[in-house]
Amino acid sequence: MEYTRRSVLSALGLGAFAAATGCSAAPSGDGQAAADGPAEGEITLLTPIYEGSTGKQLLEGKLLPAFKQKNPNVTVKVDYTTYAALNEKLTTGLAGGLMPDVVMLGVGWIPPFAHKKVLAALPDDLGQRFDYEDRVLEPCRYDGKLYALPLILDTRIVTYRKDMFAEAGIKQPPKDWTELRAMARELTRADGSGKLTRVGFDPFSIDLRQCWETFLFANDGTLFDESGQQVKFNDDRGVEALQLFLDVIKDKSGDYSFKSAAGQPSTLAQGRSAMMMANNSLWVQLQEQTPELLKEDKVGAFMLANRVPAMFQGGTLVSRSATTKHAAAAQALVEFLGTPDTILPTAAQRGAVPGVQDLQTSDYVENNGFVKLALGNMDKARSEGGTPAWMEIREKIKTTLETAVVGQRTAKEAIDELANQSKEAISRL
């Protein structure tokens, strides 16, 4: 055989290609390990929650020992991460063939991973074990199958200062965006030099993507069609949602730089905003940082409404890997983590909303005003995602919308650009 430079280079290239991709443990075909048989073996759990020493103590000191009692032949090794690093952890794990047996994912993450056959479908009757709100199970499904169970939810609601409302003579929270904007203007304060000391409305202390989506949902808009193949947010409803941010900045009842910094009390707690978009976990933060505001009943919350009342629903779902060697053990853990007994302490530890309605009358829910509001209105909750291309699209939303917020583009231009990027991402599926 004659070796030419081209053949040698081709061989080298192919060898490197094989080296780079051959170690990938990407699942292929529909082959998924069945979960029947005895639950036994050592399994891994990848979790972006249970962070910090209290979270670890709850998981490894209380919950997993209870699981072990029920499943004595299963050992669970926990791999902690954060939501910021979860994607990276999964990517490298998949590439290295180290996909955890049980994985906790965010809302919107199921379609991309189920589409790629990384997750195993769960028995559908698991979705009927407890009192689940339909909206809560929606992001757990893909292609008609159940792939995950809800653990805890994180909703986005509007929180407000009752004392500031009373001072301004405002008796009721706004019913639509026109009222919201009028109230925001009325509640805004500036010092003698015109420098803002309080914004009437702070939508920017939460992630811009989730904030815009909440406004989109309250405007009766949606991200994608049911198939997840068509972009639907680029109509008037999506543009109006973004335009509202630009309008509050323009009339100075809101300011993009006027937002809560990480680890610091919120603008609401500091009295620097009268209304603020917030995660329901703000209640726990207020309890720790400014408990007097709750004791004196100075803080309230309501659902954002315009064409319809709506609430953004994020959260943590638990799912099983399609490639696990201990399918029965992994499924047992998924089922265990999805029970109210596990969900309640997990939600309480983070100030989150329990994923099941069964806990509506629990002391925790009764004593947490924001969680109570959210759990009582889960029928109005809407989730992000809904397309297998979500992991790529979600990364584009904030940066693209931000260009409008800082004045580089109009709302329409930014939404159109985002729609184009989303269509391209979907076309690559």
Partner 1 sequence: MTGTMVPERVREVVAGPATNQPRRLLRSRRRAGLLMVAPALLHALIWIGIPLVAAVVLSFTSYDVLTPPRFAGLDNFRELVHDDVFRRAVLNTSVYTFFTVPVAMTIALLIALMLNSKLTGRAIFRTAIFIPQVTATIAVALVWLWIYDPRSGLANAILSFLGLDGPNWLSSTSWAMPAVIMVGIWQGIGLKMLIYLAALQSLPGELYEAASVDGASKVRQFFSLTVPLLKPATFFVFVTSVIGAFQSFDQVYILTDGGPANSTTMMTYEIYKSAFREFRMGYACAQSLVLFALLLMLTLVNRRITGGDRGSR
Q: Which residues bind partner 1 (CB under 8 A)?
A: 12-14, 16-17, 19-21, 24, 26-28, 87-88, 91-92, 94-95, 112-113, 116-118, 256-257, 259, 261-262, 264, 391-392, 395, 398-399, 402-403, 405-406, 408, 425, 428
Judged by CB, which is closer to partner 1: 91, or 128?
Answer: 91
CA 261/CA 121 separation, integer angstroms: 40
Neighbours of 65 (CB within 10 A): 10
Least CB distance to partner 1 at residue 407 (A): 8
Judged by CB, which is closer to partner 1: 112, or 150?
Answer: 112
Least CB distance to partner 1 at residue 158 (A): 22
Helix/strand/coil (H, E, C) string of the chain?
Answer: CCCCHHHHHHHHHHHHHHHHHHCCCCCCCCCCCCCCCCCCEEEEEEECCCCHHHHHHHHHHHHHHHHHHHCCCEEEEEEECCHHHHHHHHHHHHHCCCCCCEEEEECCCHHHHHHCCCECCECHHHHHCCCCCHHHHHHHEECCEECEEEEEEEEEEEEEEHHHHHHCCCCCCCCCHHHHHHHHHHHCEECCCCCEEEEEEECCCCCHHHHHHHHHHHCCCCCECCCCCCECCCCHHHHHHHHHHHHHHHCCCCCCCCCCCCCCCCCCCCCCEEEEEEECCHHHHHHHHCHHHHHCCCEEEECEECCCEEEEEEEEEEEEECCCCCHHHHHHHHHHHCCHHHHHHHHHHHCCEECCHHHCCCHHHHCCHHHHHHHCCHHHEEECCCCCCHHHHHHHHHHHHHHHHCCCCCHHHHHHHHHHHHHHHHHCC
Least CB distance to partner 1 at residue 8 (A): 13
Least CB distance to partner 1 at residue 30 (A): 13
Least CB distance to partner 1 at residue 427 (A): 11
Least CB distance to partner 1 at residue 360 (A): 36
Nearest to 335 by CA among 47, 126, 104: 126
Least CB distance to partner 1 at residue 391 (A): 6
Judged by CB, which is closer to partner 1: 34, or 85?
Answer: 85
Least CB distance to partner 1 at residue 95 (A): 5
Least CB distance to partner 1 at residue 428 (A): 7
CA 147/CA 388 separation, integer angstroms: 14
